[in-house]
Amino acid sequence: MKEMYPEIEPYNTGFLKVSDLHTLYFEEAGNPNGKPVVFLHGGPGGGLIANYRRYFDPKKWRIVLFDQRGCGKSTPFAELKDNTTWDLVSDIEKLRTHLNISKWAVFGGSWGSTLALSYSITHPEKCSELFLRGIFLLRKKEIDWFYQEGCSKIFPDLWEEYVKPIPENERHDFVTAYYKRLTSPDAAVRKSAAHAWSVWEGSTSKLMYDAEAASRFGEDEFADAFARIECHYFTNKGFFTEDNFLLNNVDKIRKIKTVIVQGRYDVVCPADSAWALHRAFPEAELHIIGDAGHSLSEKGITSKLIEYTDMWA
């Protein structure tokens, strides 16, 4: 089993103004002359944590990370205006140009896999490799599974906490009901909804329940951006023109060397999405990790991803 590389500090940090409203925080770590890779965090709205730098050999990779619009150190915080998938795709290109990188590998899990696919479909010539984990294609059936009904059968106790902020007469559409509260002018209403939404995901992300992880997801500032931005994207169907947009455009990325790493017991982004992507894109190498859920930090998922970042360095 491969383990994460030792903790490392960035050698460069900065802010990039990407629109009249939004400014992104970014950082670089590892070897300034190494092979470039951009790390796309989850959510949308999740932001960066220091451990994300540790999935790459710092002697071989030039590791670029950034907080997507509205989260982490990017400003304005928790902002929904001008915050779409295609704005983020444009931001990635602006960051690549700003850093004078001609081509880079793209690493993304969960929502990061959605964004990685969206970016590579739009700019295939700028991608050397794709490292994809916990595949999320942002189709209606995936949203319905996790936020409306399916997952409740596995976690009825945790589901009970998720549904608490929503009255019975609105429970036929939790995403819409949550969006109403997460955009409420009442700060207390927003806080209650953001906490319940975020803890639900944090509680179900690992194969074995992790109370500490669930608690981190519920912290006020993190939950505020995470819940608001996620629900904003899901309400707008990922800003895609069709439900199967990513699968229907796989031909554009067929020549990019790609690995898919998926937890067998991932309930947040179930394995049938990774399987559907692999069936549409058989050139991509698929690894289903038999003792893992959704989280990037699951040992088997961590090990397999680092195996590939080492191999393709």
The one-letter code for the residue type at 252 is K
pLDDT in tens, 112-157: 999 999 999 999 999 999 999 999 999 999 999 999 988 999 999 9
294 catalytic per annotation: yes
Distances (CA, A) of 260 to 130, 230, 267, 274: 8, 23, 17, 7
Band of residue 214 on the pLDDT scale cut at 50, 70, 90: confident
What CA–CA distance (Å, rounded) separates 197 from 130?
30
266 is catalytic: yes
Of residues 67, 91, 110, 224, which has the active-site annotation? 110
Q: Please choose, from the candidates 176, 185, 187, 269, the residue with its C-alpha nearest in 3D space to the C-alpha of residue 224.
A: 187
Q: Domains, the chain, ranges and CATH?
A: 12-139+241-311 (3.40.50.1820), 141-238 (no CATH)
Q: Which of 266, 273, 278, 295 is catalytic?
A: 266
Is residue 213 predicted with pLDDT exceeding 90? no
Q: Which of 118, 232, 294, 295 is catalytic?
A: 294
The pLDDT of residue 220 is above 90 = no
Please give the Cα distance from 307 to 284 (Å, whole number): 16
State both tokens at 119.
Answer: 């970016």
Which amino acid does the sequence have at 193? A
pLDDT of residue 87: 98
Q: What percent of the chain has pLDDT over 70?
A: 100
Q: Look up 110 and say whether it is catalytic.
A: yes
Can you point out the beta strands (E) in the chain?
12-17, 23-30, 35-40, 61-66, 104-109, 127-133, 257-263, 285-289
pLDDT at 247 (0 to 100)? 98
The Cα–Cα gap between 251 and 249 comes to 5
Report the SS3 class of residue 285: strand
**Amino acid of residue 129:** E
pLDDT digits (tens, 9 = 90+) for 22-40: 999 999 999 999 999 999 9
